Amino acid sequence: MSTRDLVLSALFAAIIVALGLLPPISLGVIPVPITAQSLGVMMAGVVLGGRRGAVAALIVVLLVAIGLPVLSGGRGGLAVFAAPTAGFLVGWIFAALVTGYMSERLVKPEQSNIAQGVGFFIAAVTGGVVVLYAFGIAYLAIAANIGVSKAFFGSLAFVPGDLIKAVVAALVGRAVMAGYPLLPQRS
Amino acid sequence: MQSLYVDADSWMHRASPRLKLGALAVLGVALFATTDLRILAATLLAGGVLYLNVGMTWREALRRLQPVLLTIAFVTLFSLLFTPWHEAAVTVFRLVTLTLFAATLTATTTIAAFVDEITWAATPLERIGLVKAADIGLTVGLVVRFVPEIVGRYAAIREAHEARGLKIRLRTVLVPLVILTLRDADNIAAAIDARGIRRH
């Protein structure tokens, strides 16, 4: 990894951490304020691509493990990994990887705005919802010993919020691609 | 950023970090291997005693674990609806015990010691060319250094919105935040390379 790539990943990890420190922002569509950290993970994928995005998420997970309170609400430390929801944290790495990889595949600079937006949205949903929930639900089912189907239905309540985050990530991805393109291309 | 390390002097503080991490890993596996409530209760008690004696006030100790314990409580209530109480009890004992020991480890191990352990663990990966182990410490330092900067930048963007009478919306805040932050990457990378921090 070049120094520049390492720095980009570290800076994006810092953005994800900072998003957890900010006061929650209301989205307008739903009245519930959201914590923006999982949005940050999707953004890491759409902005930096698979490899660098995954490294950014990996850095955040590492910071949690070594005892820095970097998750929203000042959570951190190894105790976070003992929670039955730890799969949703470790899954961030793979969520960013898949979001980024699909973005590299689906989105080209010469496409129309709408095509780019749709491409980023599909990438963010696949990585940030499908892949992330696969990890989260699998670990929840094992750690809490409640079985896959119950873990699945218990997690469904969070899907609408995450879909809205995917829309925001797609809009951000498109705007950053226009303003300061970083996404590697893959055909 | 304040780390979760507690500056005190208990025997847990003095134990080797590698030993503590290894013990935690073994404990994690062992806890899931037993369903005997007596063994689990005894370990839970041991974990509680250990955790409350690392040099924090009880108030602070409980405050730290609140979010994790709430999650565990929520999941336990959920599982009580569908599984017999014995099974639910085993699950809650396991999770709380693991939480207590993990939190003890976090409270008694410095960030530097953790970084050393991770660097040591990454050395085999370095040999096969996957990572540079020394990068881990560098990255941790970079993030800790830049988080306050990004929070400050966010405040500036917010103020710029207010000055123009614009509504604060996620998209219009995040785009300049991401671009302004990542634009520094070239300069930072040049500074790191100019100092030869990653040569070897």
Of A11, A27, A140, the CB nearest to B185: A11
- Residue A30's pLDDT is what? 47
What is the tens place of the pLDDT at every residue in B90-128? Answer: 889 999 999 999 999 999 999 999 999 999 988 888 888
**Interface check B107 vs A, CB under 8 A:** yes
Confidence band of B139 (pLDDT split at 50, 70, 90) = very high
- Can you give the residue range of the structural domain that contains B54? 11-109
In whole angstroms, give the CA distance from residue B24 to residue A1: 32
**DSSP state letters, B32-96:** HH---HHHHHHHHHHHHHHHHTSS--HHHHHHHHHHHHHHHHHHHHHHHHHS-HHHHHHHHHHHH
Q: Is A75 helix (H, G, I), strand (E, B) or coil?
A: strand
Which residues are A34's β-sheet partners?
A25
Q: Do B65 and A79 touch (CB under 8 A)?
A: yes
ipTM over 0.95: no
Question: Which of A4, A5, A7 has the most B C-beta neighbours within 10 Å, making it the best mutation to test the interface with B?
Answer: A7
pLDDT(A150) > 70:
yes
B126 within a domain of the structure (yes/no): no
Contact predicate B108/B20, CB 8 Å:
yes
Q: Do B139 and A9 touch (CB under 8 A)?
A: yes
Instruction: Name which of A60-64, A117-121, A143-147, B19-23 the model is least confident about.
Output: A143-147
Q: Are residues B136 and B102 in the same domain?
A: no
Cα–Cα distances (Å) from B132 to A163, B127, B138, B166, B187, in that order, read 36, 9, 10, 45, 21
CATH of the domain at A120: 1.10.1760.20
Q: Do A7 and B106 touch (CB under 8 A)?
A: no
CA distance B12 to chain A (A): 15
Mean pLDDT, to the nearest integer, of B66-84? 84
Question: Which of A58, A145, A149, A176 has the most B C-beta neighbours within 10 Å, making it the best mutation to test the interface with B?
Answer: A145
Q: Are residues B17 and B76 in the same domain?
A: yes
Task: Name the closest residue on chain B to residue A6, using Cα atoms.
Answer: B139
Q: Are residues B103 and B136 in the same domain?
A: no
Q: Is A82 helix (H, G, I), strand (E, B) or coil?
A: helix
- Residue A97's pLDDT is what? 97
A187 within a domain of the structure (yes/no): no
Q: Do B151 and A21 touch (CB under 8 A)?
A: yes
Q: Do A172 and B72 touch (CB under 8 A)?
A: no
Q: Are residues B16 and B74 in the same domain?
A: yes
Q: Do A78 and B181 touch (CB under 8 A)?
A: no
Q: Are residues B50 and B94 in the same domain?
A: yes
A85 within a domain of the structure (yes/no): yes
**Interface check A118 vs B, CB under 8 A:** no
- Can you give the residue range of the structural domain that contains A106? 3-179
Q: How many domains does chain B have?
A: 2
A116 within a domain of the structure (yes/no): yes
In whole angstroms, give the CA distance from residue A41 to residue A156: 19
pLDDT(B79) > 60:
yes
Average pLDDT, rounded, for chain B: 89
pLDDT(B60) > 60:
yes
| Higher pLDDT among residues B10 and A95, named by residue | A95
Mean pLDDT, to the nearest integer, of B129-144? 87
Q: Do A82 and B87 touch (CB under 8 A)?
A: no
Q: Which two tokens stand for residue B155?
A: 């405040």
Interface of B with A in 25-44 (CB under 8 A): none
**Interface check B89 vs A, CB under 8 A:** no
SS (H, E, C) chain A: CCHHHHHHHHHHHHHHHHHHHCCCECCCCCCCCECCHHHHHHHHHHHHCHHHHHHHHHHHHHHHHCCCCCEHHHECCCHHHHCCCCHHHHHHHHHHHHHHHHHHHHCCCCCCHHHHHHHHHHHHHHHHHHHHHHHHHHHHHHHCCCCHHHHHHHHHHHHHHHHHHHHHHHHHHHHHHHHCCCCCCCC
Instruction: Name which of A172-186, B73-87, B145-159 the model is least confident about.
Output: B73-87
- Residue A27's pLDDT is what? 53
Task: Name the closest residue on chain B to residue A19, using Cα atoms.
Answer: B151
**Interface check A77 vs B, CB under 8 A:** yes
Q: Are residues B150 and B88 in the same domain?
A: no
Domain final residue, candidates B47, B78, B109: B109
Helix A3-21 crosses helix A37-48 at what angle (to 10 degrees)? 160
A71 within a domain of the structure (yes/no): yes
**Interface check B15 vs A, CB under 8 A:** no
pLDDT(B129) > 80:
no
In whole angstroms, give the CA distance from residue A48 to residue A184: 8
A148 within a domain of the structure (yes/no): yes
Strands, DSSP E only, in chain B? none
**Interface check B177 vs A, CB under 8 A:** yes
A28 within a domain of the structure (yes/no): yes
B33 within a domain of the structure (yes/no): yes
Which residues are A25's β-sheet partners?
A34
Confidence band of A76 (pLDDT split at 50, 70, 90) = confident
Q: Are residues B51 and B136 in the same domain?
A: no
Q: How many domains does chain A have?
A: 1
**Which residues does chain A have within 8 Å of residue B175's beta carbon, measured at their own beta carbons?**
172, 175-176, 179
Task: Name the closest residue on chain A to residue B186, using Cα atoms.
Answer: A4
Task: Name the closest residue on chain B to residue A144, using Cα atoms.
Answer: B91
Q: Are residues B145 and B60 in the same domain?
A: no
Q: Do A14 and B181 touch (CB under 8 A)?
A: yes
- Residue A31's pLDDT is what? 44
| % of chain A beyond a pLDDT of 90 | 60
Average pLDDT, rounded, for chain A: 89
A184 within a domain of the structure (yes/no): no
- Residue B200's pLDDT is what? 60
A70 within a domain of the structure (yes/no): yes
What is the tens place of the pLDDT at every residue in A11-69? Answer: 999 999 999 887 665 555 544 445 689 999 999 999 999 999 999 999 999 999 998 98
> What number of helices (H) and strands (E) belong to chain B?
9, 0
Q: Are residues B99 and B19 in the same domain?
A: yes
B177 within a domain of the structure (yes/no): yes
**Interface check A24 vs B, CB under 8 A:** no
Mean pLDDT, to the nearest integer, of B161-189? 91
Of B76, B82, B178, the CB nearest to A15: B178
> Which amino acid is residue B34, in one-letter code?
T
Mean pLDDT, to the nearest integer, of A83-101? 94
Q: Do A69 and B90 touch (CB under 8 A)?
A: no
